[in-house]
């Protein structure tokens, strides 16, 4: 694995070679990922996997024509061939009036924010194994758990460096740790499965394996003997495990590419009320130890926290340079990219702000409703916002969680659903996208 300085030198050298070969502009991205993963099942070690790979991608422009190539062979001969191939491909590519690098005057300059993304730890496989075993033992100790699908623990480190022919050359490192357990409760046709996991940037922030395992076991047991729920319109509460999916649908609808292609159900709603007054959705790439924190975006623009929704009003699109040009707007520092291809746009650490009421208070007035803990299928139309997904969870009866239910379909339209979202107070920052328990009134339930 290269150091950040070595990675920066590698991408800068590649840019210089591309310019010498005839490219008018170019950018290059280096990514190296190294990870160790340990999995156990029924108290026995099942697998230990160690992987390390490095890749480099080059995008070149000849006029308004561009091409992208990538390689995992970083030898001098391979990189020379990479440059030659990229420039030759660009000369034959169709013209694209929107393509190009990010404006030079918008690139990150000065000191980058310190985000505490790398703790320097490198736990041994034996330590990961002990964590995985502890998680599974705790899950299997829950009364009613009858089998295990296994538990795991992982540790990883990444090095990223980006260079552009405008003179931008920056890089950074990050670490990541994870722990999970998945178990089965019940017997025969009555078996139910559930899981729990946690991820963090710093090892000291990773939740204890016993807590993760116990939660997985309790969740599986709680799902035993699910019943049916009568069809009709009723309030629905989304558990934080699934409420994040609603915020994900929102983020996808405000990306520049979807807006430019006119394939977003939020088209034309910039500056309009799309959530209830008081709702805030914030993107924070500078969250300390955040899972998606980064000092610059995929094109070298500085990142900055922003409220995508303020008091229920949509304030911005998520724009990379190409979609910004197409829409006649400025890029927003939300470019994301892989090794190959052009950048797109996306959010970083995204969350909907908590409300004043606890989940119990939020459901206190519900005579009959549904508390969703799992969603199934991908029945969401990004153009119209029509929403229909399979679900399971628990009945809400007289303001209290009651028996488990399964084989239910919940339906609505995201435009209406967003306007009727009420967040609870139980927001926790545990993922890249976070949300508290969310209540939505008037959804259509298809059950028994």
Mean pLDDT by 10 residues, the chain (448 residues): 94 96 96 97 95 95 95 93 96 93 94 95 96 98 97 98 96 98 94 97 97 98 93 96 96 96 96 96 98 97 97 98 96 94 94 97 96 92 96 96 95 96 97 97 86
Taking CA 25 as the corner, what is the angle to CA 23 and CA 27, rounded to the nearest 5 degrees? 110
The boundaries of the domain holding residue 179 are 4-220
Q: Which runs of E-coded beta strand occur in 187-280?
A: 192-200, 232-238
What is the pairing mode between strands 145-164 and 169-185?
antiparallel
What is the pairing mode between strands 313-314 and 400-413?
unpaired
CA distance 119 to 52: 19
For the question of whether the overall pTM of this predicted structure is more than 0.85, the answer is yes
Other Cβ atoms less than 10 A from the Cβ of 441: the count is: 14
Q: Are residues 178 and 270 in the same domain?
A: no
Q: Are residues 183 and 253 in the same domain?
A: no
CA distance 172 to 112: 10
CB 160 within 8 Å of CB 118: no
- Give the pLDDT of residue 113: 94
Q: Are residues 9 and 59 in the same domain?
A: yes
Q: Give helix 125-140 / helix 209-222 axis angle, nearest 10°.
A: 30
Neighbour order of strands in the sheet with 145-164: 65-71, 44-62, 25-41, 145-164, 169-185, 192-200
Q: Are residues 414 and 285 in the same domain?
A: yes
Q: Name the domain boundary from 220, 244, 274.
A: 220
Return the SS3 of 285: coil
Return the SS3 of 445: strand
- Give the pLDDT of residue 448: 61
Q: Are residues 183 and 243 in the same domain?
A: no
C-alpha distances out from residue 169 to 161, 209, 223, 287, Å: 7, 40, 52, 23
* Cα dihedral sign, 75-76-82-83: positive
C-alpha distances out from residue 151 to 37, 185, 205, 215, Å: 11, 15, 19, 13
Q: Are residues 20 and 44 in the same domain?
A: yes
CB 433 within 8 Å of CB 248: yes
- Give the pLDDT of residue 1: 84
Alpha-carbon torsion, ordered 81, 82, 84, 89, to 10 deg: 140
Domain count across the chain:
2
- Give the pLDDT of residue 309: 98
CA distance 43 to 191: 21
Q: Kindly report the CATH number assigned to the domain that includes residue 130.
A: 3.30.2290.10
Return the SS3 of 13: helix
- Give the pLDDT of residue 442: 86
- Give the pLDDT of residue 39: 98
CA distance 163 to 18: 12
CB 347 within 8 Å of CB 317: no
Within the chain, what is the greatest distance between any pair of CA atoms?
Answer: 73
Q: Name the domain boundary from 193, 220, 247.
A: 220
């Amino acid at each position: 694995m290269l150091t950040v300085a070595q990675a920066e030198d590698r991408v800068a050298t590649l840019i210089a070679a591309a310019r010498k070969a005839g490219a008018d502009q170019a950018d290059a991205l280096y990514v190296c990922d190294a990870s160790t993963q340990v999995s156990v099942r029924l108290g026995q070690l099942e697998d230990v996997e160690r992987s390390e790979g490095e890749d480099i991608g080059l995008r070149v422009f000849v006029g308004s024509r561009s091409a992208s190539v990538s390689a995992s062979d970083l030898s001098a001969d391979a990189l020379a061939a990479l440059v030659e191939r990229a420039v030759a491909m660009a000369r034959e590519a169709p013209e694209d009036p929107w393509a190009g690098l990010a404006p030079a005057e918008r690139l990150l300059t000065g000191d980058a924010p310190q985000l505490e993304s790398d703790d320097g730890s490198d736990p041994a496989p034996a330590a990961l194994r002990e964590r995985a075993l502890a998680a599974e033992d705790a899950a299997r100790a829950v009364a009613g758990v009858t089998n295990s699908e296994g538990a795991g623990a992982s540790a990883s480190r990444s090095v990223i460096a980006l260079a552009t022919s405008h003179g931008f050359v920056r890089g950074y490192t990050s670490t990541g740790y994870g722990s999970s357990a998945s178990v089965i409760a019940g017997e025969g046709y009555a078996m139910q499965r559930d899981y729990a996991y946690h991820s963090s940037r710093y090892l000291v922030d990773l939740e204890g394996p016993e807590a993760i395992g116990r939660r997985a076991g309790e969740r599986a047991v709680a799902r035993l003997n699910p019943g049916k729920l009568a069809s009709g319109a009723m309030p629905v509460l989304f558990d934080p495990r699934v409420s994040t999916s609603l915020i994900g649908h929102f983020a996808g609808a405000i990306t520049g590419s979807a807006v430019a292609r006119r394939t977003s159900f939020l088209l034309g709603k910039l500056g309009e009320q799309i959530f209830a007054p008081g709702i805030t959705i914030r993107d924070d790439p500078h969250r300390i130890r955040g899972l998606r924190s980064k000092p610059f975006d995929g094109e070298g623009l500085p990142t900055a926290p922003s409220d995508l929704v303020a008091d229920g009003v949509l304030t911005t699109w998520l724009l990379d340079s190409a979609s910004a040009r197409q829409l006649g707007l400025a890029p927003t520092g939300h470019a994301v990219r892989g090794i190959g291809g052009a950048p797109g746009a996306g959010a970083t650490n995204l969350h909907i702000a908590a409300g004043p009421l606890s989940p119990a208070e939020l459901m206190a007035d519900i005579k009959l409703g549904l508390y969703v803990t799992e969603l199934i299928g991908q029945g969401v139309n990004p153009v119209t916002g029509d929403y229909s997904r399979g679900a399971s969870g628990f009945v809400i009866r007289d303001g209290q969680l009651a028996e488990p239910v399964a084989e239910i379909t919940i339906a609505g339209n995201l435009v209406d659903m967003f306007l009727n979202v009420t967040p609870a107070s139980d927001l926790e920052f545990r993922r890249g996208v976070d949300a508290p328990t969310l209540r939505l009134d008037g959804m259509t339930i298809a059950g028994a």
